[in-house]
Amino acid sequence: MKTILRALIIGMIAAMASQPLFAQVWREGEFRGTVILTVTGNVALPTRQGSSEDVDKFFIFNDITFDKAAQFDVAALQALPQVSVNADFPMGGRVYLFEGPLLKDVLESVGATGEVVTIRALDGYAVDISLTDAYAAGAVVALKRDGIPFAIGDFGPTHIVFPRADRADLADMNDDWWVWSIYHINVE
């Protein structure tokens, strides 16, 4: 079963690489690189139109449709204010230094508002988190661990982390919200 799931995920990643989801996009005349994160839902500043059955095969495969979206490449995420947090992942494991923008800054940069985010990983794992709770816990869209950028297959392209080793109030937080290999965030 694991072999079939891995083959399916690898096939989907390969298919995505040839689709506009991972294509080069323009925003306000500025060239963008490979898209690694798409934000949908209540987005006031979209960078693309809605999903299309002809081109958005990975989204459609995962039953995701949208009217508009904001897309990010690595450079767009790095252009946001960056934070560094210490966190053990998995819980009780080694403490790493994670770097990236706060989830709040990512969502605010595209005018995303709402009460709940659904964060989806390439393997199909998805979790709903209230924005109030995510912001209060200091959610970070991590791009690096110990200075090394994430790659697909190594928790990448992005990973939601929390400053569990830096904040005593998060010491007992389990790993349910720690979604890795994130490609999609929906805001409602």
Residue 49 bridge partners (DSSP) = 68
pLDDT at 33: 85
Say which residues have a Cβ less than 8 Å from residue 68's Cβ, sequence separation at least 6: 40, 43, 46, 48, 49, 50
pLDDT at 92: 86
- Provide the H-helix boundaries in the chain: 2-17, 57-61, 74-79, 103-109, 131-136
Q: Which residues of the chain have pLDDT under 50?
A: 5, 7-8, 10-29, 31
Q: Check if CATH label 2.60.120 holds for domain 2-187.
A: no
Q: Are 42 and 188 in contact (CB under 8 A)?
A: yes
DSSP secondary structure letter of residue 150? -
Q: Are 125 and 169 in contact (CB under 8 A)?
A: no
Tokens of 137: 């816990």
pLDDT at 19: 36
User: Per-domain residue ranges for the chain?
Assistant: 2-187
pLDDT at 1: 57
